[in-house]
Amino acid sequence: MEIRKLLRENKCAALTVMLVLYLLADPFIRENFENIRTVYFGYYLFLIFTPYFLTSSKRVLLVSLIFGLSLNILKLTFEPGLTSGELETFYIVIGISLVLQELLLLLVVIAYTCTRNFSSREPIFGSILAYLLTALFFGDAFYIVSRIEPNSFAIAGQVMKPLMKDTYYFSFATITTCGYGDIRAVSLLTRRMASFEAVFGVLYVAVFIGRVISMFTAHRLHDLQSAEAPQDEPRPGRRLRYR
């Protein structure tokens, strides 16, 4: 019961920790193909059930299941028998479904964060979770574009198709405005997308997360002042005399 209560009061904190652990473990697991399939399946489950975990809405769960289960059923059913050319188109369709599901989760997290009590830490962790999901969303979107338009990225000065780990790396470097330059957007579309992500990343941290933290601090300060303020002793009221 205590664990359930703790999870119910710290949903975004638990989800943020899970996503950070996934991002930290991902580079070490990619060396083995079977491990990659396991990790991706776990990430799909995260995308499917997290919106319902936050909202407890059966409609949201139904939409997530439609995207997530259809995605995995298609992958398990048709992937083994496809040729190399058909696989490319198949992965583009799968990637678009994945991006739509990430977008759904991102919108749910932002809506959940904006409706929480700002005296708790949930809005802060919700803001961090939405920031990480935005980077993953753009990483998958960059990967899809690179499959549709092969000459979209240059790695170490050579134009080539990036792997998904490369587009994730590029997305996180872009949203944080680090811009190391080892991976560059070459095509017009990817440059526009990278520019939009960089502007969004700066404004998100400065405006949204800054607003959430300031409101959290204001609520905490108000609670402290209310607790330290002396309580006025109630005055005894007049007694009415009845004849």
Query: Given this model, what pLDDT does residue 80 score?
Result: 65
Token pair 């560059």: residue:
184
Residue 167 · residue 136 · CB < 8 Å: no
β pairing state of 153-155 and 183-185: antiparallel
Tell me, rounded to whole angstroms, the distance of Cα 172 from its chain centroid.
Answer: 12
Q: Please report, for the chain, the start and end positions of each structural domain, with discontinuous segments joined by +.
A: 2-219
Query: Given this model, what pLDDT does residue 240 score?
Result: 43
Stretches in the chain below the pLDDT threshold 70: 1, 30-37, 71-72, 75-76, 78-82, 118-119, 219-220, 222-225, 227-243
Query: Given this model, what pLDDT does residue 87 score?
Result: 75
pLDDT digits (tens, 9 = 90+) for 200-227: 999 988 888 777 777 777 766 766 667 6
C-alpha to C-alpha distance for 123 and 185, rounded to whole angstroms: 33
- CATH fold group of domain 2-219: Helix Hairpins (1.10.287)
Query: Given this model, what pLDDT does residue 191 score?
Result: 94
C-alpha to C-alpha distance for 159 and 149, rounded to whole angstroms: 11
Report angle CA 12, 2, 47 to the nearest 5 degrees. Answer: 30
Q: What three-state secondary structure class fits 54?
A: helix
Report angle CA 187, 193, 194 to the nearest 5 degrees. Answer: 90
H or E element that contains 184: strand 183-185
Query: Given this model, what pLDDT does residue 233 score?
Result: 54
Query: Given this model, what pLDDT does residue 27 score?
Result: 75
Q: How many CB atoms lie within 10 A of CB 25?
A: 13
C-alpha to C-alpha distance for 10 and 4, rounded to whole angstroms: 10
| C-alpha distance across the termini of the chain, in Å | 58
C-alpha to C-alpha distance for 77 and 60, rounded to whole angstroms: 25
Report angle CA 153, 19, 182 to the nearest 5 degrees. Answer: 25
